[in-house]
Chains A and B, each alone.
Chain A
Amino acid sequence: MDWLFLDAAFTGGSRDECSAKAGGACWAVIGERLNLFTYGFYPVAERWRVNLSLVLLIFTLFPILFEKAPYRKYALHIAVAFPFVTAWLLVGGLGLTPVETDQFGGFMLTLVIGITGIGFSLPIGILLALGRQSKLPAIQIFSIGFIEFIRGVPLITLLFVASTMLNYFLPPGVTFDLLLRVLIMVTLFASAYMAEVIRGGLQAIPKGQFEAADSMGLRYWSAMRLIVLPQAMKISIPGIVNTFIGLYKDTTLVIIIGLLDPLGIGRASLADTRWTGLSTEVYLFVAIFFFISCFGMARYSQHLENKLETDHKR
């Protein structure tokens, strides 16, 4: 505690200035590098676009996560536009100055990869889980093949494939944004895990539920959407959130292929001669950021489980 706060120096221009002031932690490095940690190398003049995206994110998540949010019905419809609007804001074009994705970095990069992965892996995972149980052999074989292949390969391998090997497969001259490739790989990777988590939930649904739905004349998709999936998803919440958290933390692996996530920024900061040796402070800071996000997700999943509890076990 003393080291963290009481004996810590919060200002200063280098490590030596810090230690001259106090014997504890030197948080000045974080202060000076905060913008870098947040935005990466996103152009300073355009950072309002990142901030605006974050505000939009909060306004989009709120009605999705909380049933009691005002005007929820309309907000959910508008939420569909969120990925497109944000992508436009961050990447630019159509009237905004284009920003190359290799300038993305820091927490912003983590959020972009994490939220894209989370947002897309859930629906893809659901489709794969249903596909795996499909009666149509083509769909079933595709789903099983996809899931087992992705699960059998480490994420890092997939990221390397994304960063280097894809170029060999694509026709010459076709370039394909590195961040986009990473997003696709991370999403597919998480989808495979998601599919298996949801399959566990699907298998826990008693056969009678399917029969009741069939006997009413509900079609396959209606039965799945109205009866089977709501129950299966509820059972799967802990596993789903587990996968989310795993994916969110795995975003740090992109450092390996040269994208500067918070860890990458941290390493770059430590390479600065003025701040060498402050790895504890830097990595602690990054750890706290991840802990807050992941703990938030875990708490929300608890809240959701309690809310959806309708069994009233006697």
Chain B
Amino acid sequence: MKGIVFTEFLEMVEKEFGYDTVDDILENSDLPSGGVYTAVGTYAHGEMIQLISNLSSITKITVPELLKSYGQYLFNTFLRSYPAFFERSKNSFDFLESIDNHIHVEVKKLYPDAELPRFETSRIDETTLEMIYTSQRKMSAFAEGLIEKTLEHYGDNISLKKEAIDEEGTQIKFTIVRSKMS
């Protein structure tokens, strides 16, 4: 898992819960990296699971809640760091469609070893987009936060429906309906 996910996560924890919580989850986890993360590095996914689980134990907030919040948080980071990706799309549907087709292609060029989730999109009709999330990380809540923030960013009046396709949660279908073309 890319280093930026760790650094941004710890930044959000520090901001929301203070550095003590950061230090706490780092100290209470068995981390091969020793809790030292840099945005350009790559770290085991298990480390993130431990960090989130420890945070959930401390804060009494469920892991999905935390992941969704983190998604919302990270969207802002992305928007700040890579505005070009967003400027390119006119609306949320265009952007969401560009994740697999464009953004992740660019990410793969920079980080050939990155393991990225897949977002397959298909337009059902003019106002409905169907998006299927597939990832072994089972972090659909994280994705949901990002999606919500995206919709918010483009200012569309939209309803988002989330349904699991399998029991394990590796595949999730999001149905996004736009009330009106803006």
The finding on whether chains A and B are genuine partners in a shared complex, rather than unrelated, reads no
A residues sitting closer than 8 Å to B (CB atoms) are none
B residues sitting closer than 8 Å to A (CB atoms) are none
